[in-house]
Amino acid sequence: MMSAAIDQSWPEDDIALPMALDAVTPDFLTAALAIRYPGTEVTNVTLGRQVRGSGSKVRLLLEYNDAGHHHRLPPTLWFKGGYETHSDGIRNSHVHETIFYREIAPRGLVNTPRCYFAGVDRREGSPSFGHAGQLMEDLLGRNASFGHASRSLSVEQVSQLLTMFARLHAHWWNAPELARLGPIGGSLRADGIVLRQIREGWNDCARKPMAADLPVEMRGEEAALRGMALLSAYDAASKTLCVNHGDPHPANLFFEPDGAPGLLDWQRLMQCDWGHDVTYFTIGAMEPGECARHERDLLAHYLRELSTYDVAAPDFDAAWLSYRKHAMYGLVWVVVPPKLHRIEAIEIMASRFCAAFRRLRTYDVLFSA
């Protein structure tokens, strides 16, 4: 499925993309890298570790000609695309990642991997038509470490990331460019994956120990579907729309050696109320007790940061209501399939959001609206 969001003038969109991770060749890499780094030739590539989830990645060990060395291209990169059984249903998510790395990342609003190529094959009739792919920095070269649900963030790290979100959100705040990112709310409306997972697994998963904090009113599939629909309607009516990362859970974070955080995996880039990113990230980043102690102060910090930009930031009471309502979206972790994340991470994240849903009385503020 081809997105209308990509400007056809980008030269990266005239390149055929690999049709499998093991089909990343020196010829493709040469064509891709020579656009930004003229004269570069990749003389050899060794395919390394593969990582598969909502997207597909392979680590590359590259050798270059003299021009490639002159441009100081790195010896390792990651290639990312959509090569899973579910990929055809979420092609636009890879297109959105390309939009981020081409148009937003270069502005330096967030700490994220450097991108060396980001393209979408727009050539009608091409085998890879509609596919998107990126060549990205290997963060191991920065000695970065990577987030996991089992490693809670400190309040300072959460604060640092909320500062980053404020910069990102202010960039296209209520701007017409947001329409290029598809329907408000992203995956809740664009591809139906969240609702499909609820229909397929909610009644069973909501009775597992990880969902012990779920209120009794939320034990059935219809309540979960209704809650997501109400949240989608709330976002659709929002007057504080902005660019959202869309999926800022711990596994999509990295950390510099000094602890400074950054964000990975921009497939779920979307337009939504700012509360989606802030709520989903904050609740998912800390243990429930720690989150309960600090979430109001952290929200106030985000609002102060946002107010430093030329945007109409909400007042605290309106923001707190948005935060409480957006706890609904995190319940998707109750039905996340183990093929996408390790069961340990699923259980930790589901328990955090179930606890927050009860603590914030999200059922009351969302279902009574």
Give residue 90's pLDDT. 63
- Contact present, 76 and 42 (Cβ < 8 Å): no
Residue 4 — very low, low, confident or very high, per pLDDT cuts 50/70/90?
very low
Mean predicted confidence (pLDDT) in 161-182: 95
Q: What is the CA radius of gyration of the chain?
A: 21
Which residue matches tokens 């930009």? Answer: 309
Average pLDDT, the chain: 91
List the domains of the chain with CATH numbers.
11-142 (3.30.200.20), 145-367 (3.90.1200.10)
Residue 345 — very low, low, confident or very high, per pLDDT cuts 50/70/90?
very high
Residue 347 Cα distances to 151, 176, 222, 319, 362, angstroms? 13, 39, 22, 28, 20
pLDDT tens digits, 110-155: 999 999 999 988 877 777 777 889 999 999 999 999 999 999 999 9
pLDDT tens digits, 65-84: 999 999 999 999 999 987 76
State pTM to two decimals: 0.92
CA-wise closest residue to 133 among 148, 147, 112, 117: 117
